[in-house]
Amino acid sequence: MKVILEGEERVVNAIIRENRVRVSRGQVSFSPVDSIPTPKGVTEEDVEKMADAIEDMMDDVERKDARISELMEENETLKAALAEKADSKDVPEAPDTKGDGESEETGGEGDNTDTKEGGEADTTQAPEGDRKDAPEGDSKDVVEAPDTKGKKSSKK
């Protein structure tokens, strides 16, 4: 494994002195950077350009890491909001039976059901003169639905 050791000259020299036993045994060797030959065709300018390119890439990686962190935080926020909405859907709201945004308790002006004083609305018959017949040739028998007033449905 080859490494380049950077630091203050005093500290690097201390590291070299501390490892002189390993150097004498041939376990490690220290070579000054100036003595390392550069490959043929590579100039000092090329090395500087490569170093600048690496620096630019590292800056780009840092920006992308920051953006990823932002997106992860936004993702967690959205997940929490979605979970909160899902929890609120579990609680059933009173249905709007008036059709105009008014609930039965408020008794809005949009009440269009025909009710008799103290009675229920008669929804089984169409108003007089309002009759639709099946087209000729329609042979389907109409079966009256069973009375389900007050019964709870098991369908969701």
Q: What is the mean pLDDT of residues 106-126?
A: 55
Query: Does residue 90 fall inside a structural domain?
Result: no
* CA 58 centroid distance within chain: 27
**For the whole model, what pTM was predicted?**
0.33
Same domain, 29 and 19: yes
Question: How many structural domains comprise the chain?
Answer: 2
Query: Does residue 103 fall inside a structural domain?
Result: no
Boundaries of domain holding 3: 1-36
Does residue 137 or residue 61 have the better pLDDT?
61
- What are the pLDDT digits (tens) for 47-74? 889 889 999 999 999 999 999 999 999 9
Q: Please report the pLDDT score of residue 71 as a whole number.
A: 96
Does residue 100 or residue 4 have the better pLDDT?
4
Same domain, 66 and 79: yes
Query: Does residue 150 fall inside a structural domain?
Result: no
Same domain, 16 and 45: no
Query: Does residue 139 fall inside a structural domain?
Result: no
Separation of alpha carbons 52 and 130, rounded Å: 85
Q: What is the mean pLDDT of residues 123-142?
A: 61
Q: Please report the pLDDT score of residue 6 as a whole number.
A: 78
Average pLDDT, the chain: 75
- What are the pLDDT digits (tens) for 72-107? 999 999 999 999 888 887 655 666 665 555 545 555
Q: What is the mean pLDDT of residues 20-32?
A: 85
Can you give the chain as a three-state secondary structure string? Answer: CCCCCCCCHHHHHHHHHHCHHHHHHCCCCCCCHHHCCCCCCCCHHHHHHHHHHHHHHHHHHHHHHHHHHHHHHHHHHHHHHHHHHHHHHCCCCCCCCCCCCCCCCCCCCCCCCCCCCCCCCCCCCCCCCCCCCCCCCCCCCCCCCCCCCCCCCCCC
